[in-house]
Amino acid sequence: MEDKLTQAVEDYLKAIYELSQTEGRASTSKLAEYLEVTPASVTGMIKKLASANPPLVDYQKHRGVVLTEAGMNEALETLRHHRLLELFLHDILGYPWDEVHEEAERLEHVISEKFEERIAAVLGNPKHDPHGDPIPRLDLSMPASAETRLSDLGKGDSGTIKRVRDTDADLLRHLSDLGVTPETQVKVVDYSDYDKNTHLKIKNQDEVVVLGQNITEQIYVEA
């Protein structure tokens, strides 16, 4: 009942956590798509999670799952590993920010609590990963994270980039080329209602950058 969780279980719990951020319960098909497995495989795994001791998810046939308290803690533990690793790979080993995710995805399941503790110490108990996502604290509580999208700013508004959706490596490369990275100060010098383009002045840069809505929706700022 209290064996170490497998890699697959940890990835399912993390996926359920991520999907629950948007929708309420995580459905079989959404999970299947997210994890790139068949819906049948998801059903099988979900049953195991639900009948674990203690149960890791609350499962209702045909209407998906939510994490239990125990499941949530395991998900956050793995997420803490993941995000600490991403920052470690970036800051200490010099990985570009579009390459950290893949490596962290494997390492998160394998490092010990000691490794977690050591990299947290070396990094100075950081609050955010290289994409600005909050790192769960040691007690698994979550630091606040910016929720205002750049697409919601209007002409004349200014703020600091705080977070960028980390799912698309191409986008991440593109943004670091442009200089749009967390903690960068920016000002909206123009916004067009026709094409939804945001014209952005970036601190210490001359050229004004123009970003489409599909991009500005993935960037979060703080006034």
Q: Given candidates 34, 39, 157, 189, which one binds DNA under the rule CB under 7 A?
A: 39
125 lines the binding site for its own copies (CB under 8 A) = no
154 lines the binding site for its own copies (CB under 8 A) = no
What is the rounded distance in angstroms from the CA atom of residue 8 to the CA atom of residue 109? Answer: 9
For the bound state, the minimum distance from the C-beta of residue 23 to DNA, rounded and expressed in Å, comes to: 11
95 lines the binding site for its own copies (CB under 8 A) = yes
What is the rounded distance in angstroms from the CA atom of residue 186 to the CA atom of residue 190? Answer: 12
Q: Given candidates 107, 140, 169, 189, which one binds its own copies under the rule CB under 8 A?
A: 107
For the bound state, the minimum distance from the C-beta of residue 209 to Mn ion, rounded and expressed in Å, comes to: 22
CA angle 200–201–203, rounded 5-degree value: 135
Q: Given candidates 9, 87, 100, 172, which one binds DNA under the rule CB under 7 A?
A: 9
Q: Could you say which residues in the range 52-71 bind DNA, by CB under 7 A?
A: 61-64
CB-wise, 118 or 196, nearer to its own copies?
118
What is the rounded distance in angstroms from the CA atom of residue 100 to the CA atom of residue 93? Answer: 10
What is the rounded distance in angstroms from the CA atom of residue 57 to the CA atom of residue 65? Answer: 6
Contact 88, 120 (CB under 8 A): no
Select from its own copies, Mn ion, DNA, none the partner in contact with residue 161, using the beta carbon and a kind-dependent cut-off of 5 to 8 Å.
none
Select from DNA, Mn ion, its own copies, none the partner in contact with residue 129, using the beta carbon and a kind-dependent cut-off of 5 to 8 Å.
Mn ion
CB-wise, 50 or 107, nearer to Mn ion?
107
Select from its own copies, Mn ion, DNA, none the partner in contact with residue 40, using the beta carbon and a kind-dependent cut-off of 5 to 8 Å.
DNA
Distance from chain centroid for Cα 162: 13
Binding positions for its own copies, rule: CB under 8 A: 89, 92-95, 99, 103, 106-107, 110-112, 114-115, 118-119, 122
